[in-house]
Amino acid sequence: MTIRITEDEAETGGYAFVDLGRPAPSALLSFRRQDAEPRHLGAEGWQPEVAWLAPLSISERDGRAVARFGPNVVDRIEELVPIEIVAQDGTSFGVVSWPFITPAPAGYGILAAAPVAPLSLTETAARDVSPEVPVVADAENAPASALDPPTPPNAARASLPLAEVTVERRPRVWPVAAALFLGLALAAAGGAYVYRDDLRMILAAWETPQPTSSNTPPVVEQAPVTLAAPSQEAPRPSAAELRQRYTRLIEERASAPAFLDLGETALAAHQGGTAFRAFEEADPVANADAAWQLARFYDPSNPDAVARTAARPDAVRAAYYYALWRNRSPRHTDALRGLCDANTDLAGRDERLRTICRP
């Protein structure tokens, strides 16, 4: 049987189960990479000498030894690196291509993004300080004009002395008024006919509807406005729900389209780790969409923040996934050409990238 490595879903990252495929004669294991030197994983990282590492726990399932390791191993082995696992007595369990495992949030950070430091108490307090309000320091020694309230105007008027009112007698004017009234009566009698005609014209004008002035805008009756109900977006699935869905697809041995659908759903929910593993299970060698998505996770030119939560930029790994569909997919071919043109200096130092970018 072959080695199978699966992530410990009970943790938020950095832990994995290593199913050795058969019983282990010793609990101490050695991890040896096959692609570069130094090749032995030790307590402080990769080293030239052989190191024997003890798992956090080891159990037996159906005659197979299953060891559980934490960030000191998981976060230090990158995805796709060929690893040989050897027991202390020299028994080799074989070589496995290390899968992607979500790094620990506070682990060694091989692939994890750098956490954002929280605000200090000083910074938090500085944001809550309100502008200062001026206060009179010494009210007893302040001038009276500054402490006394202003006098209301009515009160100032009330304090003034009352003026004397002098009534002056005037001569009687009724004879003059009588003569004036008589003259007005005669004038009214003479113009009665004219008044009657004018009154008739006024009444006729009241009965005739008057045209609307051109300056007055016409009244337009408006239909009642109906407010549209606010659109409600479907809630995003949680990280736990997506992990459960991933595990269920693994158990059902689902097809590539099911894993692609899960990967796209996880990307929309900002769960980069689950999305990466789903695209990986869709087999990038046989599926162009899976290879494209995995390449975008590593492409340094991709500014997507979700991709950065699962993998650090790596031009070599991005080129590897793009090259899987070179000359068969135009977008893969163009993306690979652009990546190689943008990393000529790195290609001069890295033989793997130089080989991939070679026409």
Alpha carbons 56 and 70: distance in angstroms, whole number: 7
Instruction: Give the three-class secondary structure for 117.
Output: coil
Residues 197-224: tens digit of each pLDDT:
555 665 555 555 555 545 555 555 555 5
Minimum mean pLDDT range among 3-7, 136-140, 245-249, 355-359 = 136-140
- In sequence order, what are the residues at sequence separation of 6 or more whose Cβ sits closer than 8 angstroms to the Cβ of residue 258? 249
Of 234 and 225, which is predicted with more confidence? 234
Minimum mean pLDDT range among 18-32, 149-163, 345-359 = 149-163
Of 58 and 122, which is predicted with more confidence? 58
pLDDT value of residue 108: 43
Minimum mean pLDDT range among 73-77, 92-96, 308-312, 345-349 = 308-312
pLDDT confidence tier of residue 257, bands split at 50, 70 and 90: very high
pLDDT value of residue 117: 38
Torsion angles phi and psi, residue 83, rounded to 5 = -125, 130
pLDDT value of residue 323: 92
Torsion angles phi and psi, residue 330, rounded to 5 = -60, -40
Instruction: Give the three-class secondary structure for 226.
Output: coil
- For residue 340, give the nearest of 330, 329, 328, 352 by alpha carbon: 352
Minimum mean pLDDT range among 113-117, 248-252, 274-278 = 113-117
pLDDT value of residue 188: 57
How is residue 244 written in tokens? 């459960």
Mean pLDDT of the chain: 75
User: Scanning the structure block, which residue is given the tokens 């007893």?
Assistant: 140
Provide the terminal-to-terminal Cα distance of the chain, rounded to the nearest Å: 39
Can you list the domains of the chain with their CATH numbers? 4-97 (2.60.40), 239-357 (1.25.40)
pLDDT value of residue 337: 93
pLDDT value of residue 206: 53
- For residue 293, give the nearest of 332, 328, 240, 342 by alpha carbon: 332
| Contact (Cβ atoms closer than 8 angstroms) between residue 28 and residue 54 | yes
Mean pLDDT of 188-193: 53
pTM over 0.85: no
- For residue 87, give the nearest of 29, 2, 33, 23 by alpha carbon: 29
Outline where the chain has alpha helix (H). Answer: 71-74, 121-128, 144-147, 153-158, 174-190, 192-207, 239-252, 256-268, 272-281, 288-298, 305-308, 315-323, 330-342, 344-349, 351-357
Dihedral, 287, 293, 297, 303 alpha carbons, nearest 10: 160
Minimum mean pLDDT range among 11-15, 31-35, 134-138, 268-272 = 134-138
Of 175 and 161, which is predicted with more confidence? 175
Mean pLDDT of 23-34: 90
Of 41 and 135, which is predicted with more confidence? 41
Burial (0-12, 13-18, 19+ Cβ within 10 Å), 41: buried
Mean pLDDT of 150-167: 42
Alpha carbons 4 and 98: distance in angstroms, whole number: 9
Between strands 40-42 and 16-19, the pairing is: unpaired
pLDDT value of residue 126: 40
Of 128 and 40, which is predicted with more confidence? 40
Of 149 and 86, which is predicted with more confidence? 86
Minimum mean pLDDT range among 159-168, 214-223, 236-245, 318-327 = 159-168
pLDDT-above-90 percentage for the chain:
31
